[in-house]
Amino acid sequence: MNRDDGIRYSPRLSAVRPSPTIAITRAAAELRRRGKDVVSLSQGEPDFDTPQHIKDAAKLAIDNGATKYTDVDGSPELKAAIIAKFKRENGLVYDLTQVSVGTGGKQVIFNALSATLGSGDEVIIPAPYWVSYPDMVLLADGKPVVVECGDAYGFKLTPAALDAAITPRTRWLILNSPSNPTGVGYTVEELRALADVLLRHPHVLVLTDDMYEHIRYVDWSFRTIAAVERRLFDRVLTVNGVSKAYAMTGWRIGFAGGPAPLIRAMATIQSQSTTNPSSVSQAAAIAALDGPLDFLAERNHVFRERRDLCCKAFNDIDGLSCLLPDGAFYLYPSCAGMIGRRRSDGRTIDTDVEFATFLLEEAGVAVVPGSAFGHSPYFRISFATATNNLIKACDRIAKACATLR
């Protein structure tokens, strides 16, 4: 690909788009720089701080000299803490050869796809999906097979839709529960039904992204598919991390449990790209995983109040409707009722991108359009921000929407 700057870029680059959530966050920051008061609801990051005992562990690690390279895909100490976590919280038994640590869950997923996909290999991605899955598949030369899961199905993949999407070229199914962007979580029965389909297709691997495991609001016990169906254990990569539960997005530690040969292949990719994740962050992650989880109940309580507040505010606006999520810290309201309405300057809103642009320009609120998540017309807000910001944002959105004709 040739661009004006004289540099010849790879064809691979033109297949992917930069992260839309980062793009919106940038646009909001730019408006702020120009003096506009913008409330950003686009970033998926807890506003709480990393718990003190985790920060203390990192400081101690620096003082004790844990400042050098570690094993490529994680120190044995962190792997031991991850093995204990999987056993304690998920009933999954892995050994040291079956665990991988990367620079965030994002790198772990990237490694897995890069290590396994070839040209034309298909990856089933239920939509709405986390923005990065399709682009990571494309970067690995694979083919995203997006399966629409509308709100009529609670935004979940049905066994029939899964069965219909599987071909001889299918390499992976990606599951994400609770989901970014919808917050819906699969029940044991729903996972069981998907597992029954997968058992009939032994060539399909499953990547389950459990990043929001600990951020839950309903009386629903989180289960992960390798624990629900033991016969799938050798075909499942169970991905998790410390970013969301422990408010550690900047520390960049994610991990996975899976079959030893796959874990070895992922380490090979990582060894030629970033080598080990930060040694100090690994020490902090040990303290996180081995430490108490009691702070979570309090934080989830605050998240729950914010969820209820925003969900009600959106459902009170004519033209918007919103499902109450089971977990994570996002709402994914439909803006179908806004499509076709006219702004005060005469412009019509035809898509969710135009609705998000309208909210940014007229309400000074940054949200991410549903098209970024493969399912329109919707938009995503993150309620992981201060409650007064959310009240302000909902109020502004209601006032701006009232001006649409």
Contacting residues toward ligand PLP, per CB under 6 A: 44, 104-106, 130, 176, 180, 209, 211, 241, 243, 249, 254
Q: Which is nearer to ligand PLP, 98 or 240 (CB)?
A: 240
Helix (H) or strand (E) holding 330: strand 330-331
Q: Which is nearer to ligand PLP, 130 or 222 (CB)?
A: 130
Residue recorded with tokens 């809103």: 349
Cβ neighbours of 384 (radius 10 Å) = 24
What is the closest distance, in whole angstroms, from the C-beta atom of residue 316 to ligand PLP in the complex? 28
Residue showing the smallest CB distance to ligand PLP in the complex:
104
What is the closest distance, in whole angstroms, from the C-beta atom of residue 296 to ligand PLP in the complex? 17
Sheet of strand 99-102, all strands in order from the earlier edge strand to the far edge: 99-102, 254-257, 236-241, 205-209, 170-176, 122-127, 143-148
What is the closest distance, in whole angstroms, from the C-beta atom of residue 36 to ligand PLP in the complex? 26
> What are the structure tokens assigned to 52, written together?
């003190």
Closest CA to 327 of 192, 219, 194: 219
Q: Which is nearer to ligand PLP, 216 or 341 (CB)?
A: 216
Q: Which is nearer to ligand PLP, 42 or 357 (CB)?
A: 42
What is the closest distance, in whole angstroms, from the C-beta atom of residue 88 to ligand PLP in the complex? 20
Q: Is 276 exposed, middle or buried (0-12, 13-18, 19+ CB in 10 A)?
A: buried
Contact 368, 286 (CB under 8 A): no
Rg (CA), the chain: 21
Q: Which is nearer to ligand PLP, 104 or 257 (CB)?
A: 104
Q: Is 222 exposed, middle or buried (0-12, 13-18, 19+ CB in 10 A)?
A: buried
Amino acid at 167: T
Question: Rounded to whole angstroms, how far apart are CA atoms 328 and 20?
Answer: 19
What is the closest distance, in whole angstroms, from the C-beta atom of residue 256 to ligand PLP in the complex? 11
What is the closest distance, in whole angstroms, from the C-beta atom of residue 130 to ligand PLP in the complex? 4
Q: Which is nearer to ligand PLP, 241 or 333 (CB)?
A: 241
Closest CA to 138 of 326, 302, 12: 12
What is the closest distance, in whole angstroms, from the C-beta atom of residue 402 to ligand PLP in the complex? 32
Print burial letters for 74-98: b (CB count within 10 Å at least 16), e (below 16).
bbeebbbbbbebbeebbebebeeeb
Q: How many CA atoms lie within 13 A of 16 on its CB side?
A: 18
- The torsion region of residue 301 among left (phi > 0), alpha (psi -120 to 50) and beta comes to alpha
Q: Which is nearer to ligand PLP, 213 or 229 (CB)?
A: 213
What is the closest distance, in whole angstroms, from the C-beta atom of residue 129 to ligand PLP in the complex? 9
Contact 124, 205 (CB under 8 A): no
What is the closest distance, in whole angstroms, from the C-beta atom of residue 109 to ligand PLP in the complex? 7
Q: Which is nearer to ligand PLP, 214 or 341 (CB)?
A: 214
